[in-house]
Chain A
Amino acid sequence: MLEYGELVRNLTIKEFKLRYRNSVLGFIWSLLNPLAMMIILTLVFSTLLRAGIENFPVFLLPALLAWRFFSVSTSMSLASIIGNSPLVTKIYFPRWLLVLSSNLANLIGSSLELAALFPLLIFLGMKITYIALLLPVILVFEFILIIGVSLILASLNVYYRDVNQVWDIALQIGFFLCPIIYSISLIPERYVVAYSLNPMTRIIESIRRILYYNRPPTPADFAITLVSGILLLLVGYIIFRRLEPRFAEEI
């Protein structure tokens, strides 16, 4: 791993540059997306539907950003093998480094996004307590989960080119399956256990607890997000290694 440190760094910078190079506004665009979502969803939910959630923008935005971190990372890294076919078909190096670099480039992007939107959240009335120190822990767990899912998607995408269409649909369903635009308290009692098995639900709920309710996540939140992250990472790694030998000829 250490011997590839510099390679990972160069690939990550490459990925980051390619992502923002061809647009004048570059990074600004990635801020406008969650802002527009926040404004329109706030209008719909607190004004039109009168959902009755206090300070809806602060309720929504952290959850939205956590979801965006997952959805943008996974859908970008999905193409990380086929998008680098000039490299994959010409020279050998461990292919999973491409997936990792794509994820890292997105980690930088998402962190900048969060840093830029944090002042806005405070302006909107978000309170920061010492509990916020737990936020990086949850984000690290989410990152592990992202790498696992990305490994699966990126390697399948070499063999099946419509994985991205399928994943788009899955993400749309996922957006409504997770408590982003509504509170988890709306889920009927008897479904809560099954509903909370979804690691993204746990992650979003944990972040909301930290930043909106100013309460620490429960031990179950930590346990389920970490265990499912590691499991997915393992499964992803195994699938990736199984499919990797024929990447160059299937690409």
Chain B
Amino acid sequence: MEVIQVEDLWKRFKIPHERRTTILENIAGALQILEGKRFTYEEFWALKAINFTVSYGESIGVIGENGSGKSTLLKVIANILRPDRGRIKASGKIAPILELGVGFHPDLTVKENVLVYGSIMGLKNSEVKKRIGSMLEFSGLERFKDAKLKNLSSGMQMRLGFSVAIETNPDIFLIDEALAVGDMEFQQKCVDKFKEFKGEKKTIVLVSHALNLVKEFCEKTVFLSRGEMISFGKTEDVVKQYLKHVAGHN
């Protein structure tokens, strides 16, 4: 059974040569066009013709150099960015754990953020209140439950995001380098959690530069380079190919 289906996915970003973010700039720009100057922008295809499927209970790694489209891919699967061509089908509740945080507001306290995030993830307030204890315990942030989010360090914010996301009981985890800012102890806790999820047949898509982690957890791996999918297959083979690719560039 396919949980995530990515079919001929293309995603483009437009990078204007002069960025116009105000109405005034746009009027000025339109006047320039009348004078014969062209409005120019660069098209940048962040993802080109990506195809792969993830089955129920599978863990997939996504590897590639910086700027290869890994994070964009996760955001498209999470429905935060929309594809320009192709289709994405994901069935089940998705918890994206992207770079820093999962969708918290810096001016709200830890407790308030948990409540808002919980309801975005479809949890009733009563359920969140029941689970908030274990969320805070896993993150080790009980002492800071009434602190504003912006007063937490980036590592603490990540711990909180991760702890809260896993307690909302999603079917699919999209994890983007989330562990990179955590300390050793927390990283180990998360690795143990991943093992638990794999046992519970959760689907995981893991973007990481930590190849060992990818090898340990992911049966299959996607290798991206400059927006193109170089390969998709058994993690061992794909990682080898990636290492060869990196060596070839040096």
CB distance from B102 to the nearest CB of A (A): 6
**CA distance in complex: A69, B124 (Å):** 31
Q: A45-81: contact bitstring with B at CB < 8 Å (1 yes, 0 no)?
A: 0000000000000000000000000000000000000
Number of interface residues of A (CB under 8 A): 29
Of A14, A18, A84, A86, which contacts B101 at CB under 8 A? A86
**CA distance in complex: A198, B117 (Å):** 40
Number of interface residues of B (CB under 8 A): 32
B230 within 8 Å of A by Cβ? no
Main secondary structure of the interface of A (DSSP, over half): helix
Return the chain A residue nearest B96 by Cβ.
A91
A31 within 8 Å of B by Cβ? no
B105 within 8 Å of A by Cβ? yes
Of A14, A18, A90, A160, which contacts B98 at CB under 8 A? A90
B116 within 8 Å of A by Cβ? yes
CB distance from A240 to the nearest CB of B (A): 15
CB distance from A88 to the nearest CB of B (A): 8
A-B contacts counted at CB < 8 A amount to 75
Q: Assuming A10-B125, A14-B112, A86-B103, is B23 touching A93 (CB within 8 A)?
A: no
Q: Assuming A7-B120, A92-B80, is B115 touching A162 (CB within 8 A)?
A: no
Residues on B with C-beta less than 8 A from A86 are 101, 103-106
Of A7, A87, A159, A249, which contacts B81 at CB under 8 A? A249
Return the chain B residue nearest A7 by Cβ.
B119
Residues on B with C-beta less than 8 A from A92 are 78-80, 94, 96
Residues on B with C-beta less than 8 A from A9 are 119
Assess the A162–B78 pair: CB atoms within 8 A.
no
Of A91, A246, A249, which contacts B120 at CB under 8 A? A91
CB distance from A184 to the nearest CB of B (A): 32
Assess the B80–A89 pair: CB atoms within 8 A.
yes
B92-146 CB contacts (< 8 Å) to partner A: 94, 96, 98, 101-108, 112, 115-117, 119-120, 122, 124-125
Residues on B with C-beta less than 8 A from A10 are 115-116, 119, 125
CB distance from A83 to the nearest CB of B (A): 9
Residues on A with C-beta less than 8 A from B26 are 160
Assess the B105–A84 pair: CB atoms within 8 A.
yes
Q: A89-119: contact bitstring with B at CB < 8 Å (1 yes, 0 no)?
A: 1111100000000000000000000000000
Assess the A249–B13 pair: CB atoms within 8 A.
yes
CB distance from A247 to the nearest CB of B (A): 9
**CA distance in complex: A249, B47 (Å):** 15
CB distance from A103 to the nearest CB of B (A): 17
B21 within 8 Å of A by Cβ? yes
Return the chain B residue nearest A91 by Cβ.
B103
**CA distance in complex: A11, B125 (Å):** 12
Residues on B with C-beta less than 8 A from A7 are 116, 119-120
**CA distance in complex: A77, B163 (Å):** 31
B82 within 8 Å of A by Cβ? yes
Residues on A with C-beta less than 8 A from B250 are none
B22 within 8 Å of A by Cβ? yes
CB distance from A193 to the nearest CB of B (A): 31
A127 within 8 Å of B by Cβ? no
**CA distance in complex: A69, B107 (Å):** 25
**CA distance in complex: A246, B14 (Å):** 11
B198 within 8 Å of A by Cβ? no
Residues on B with C-beta less than 8 A from A90 are 80, 96, 98, 101-104
**CA distance in complex: A161, B106 (Å):** 21
CB distance from B4 to the nearest CB of A (A): 15
Return the chain A residue nearest B117 by Cβ.
A91
Of A21, A89, A162, which contacts B23 at CB under 8 A? A162
CB distance from B156 to the nearest CB of A (A): 15
Residues on A with C-beta less than 8 A from B81 are 248-249
B75 within 8 Å of A by Cβ? yes
**CA distance in complex: A9, B125 (Å):** 10
Q: B158-201: contact bitstring with A at CB < 8 Å (1 yes, 0 no)?
A: 00000000000000000000000000000000000000000000
> What are 23 contact pairs spanning A and B, CB under 8 A?
A6-B119, A6-B125, A7-B119, A10-B119, A10-B125, A11-B119, A14-B105, A18-B105, A18-B107, A87-B105, A90-B80, A90-B98, A90-B103, A90-B104, A91-B96, A91-B103, A91-B117, A92-B94, A159-B21, A160-B26, A161-B21, A163-B23, A248-B81
Top 6 closest pairs, chain A to chain B, by CB: A91-B103, A90-B103, A162-B22, A92-B79, A7-B119, A245-B82
Q: Spell out B's residues near A (CB within 8 Å).
A: 13, 21-24, 26, 75, 78-82, 94, 96, 98, 101-108, 112, 115-117, 119-120, 122, 124-125
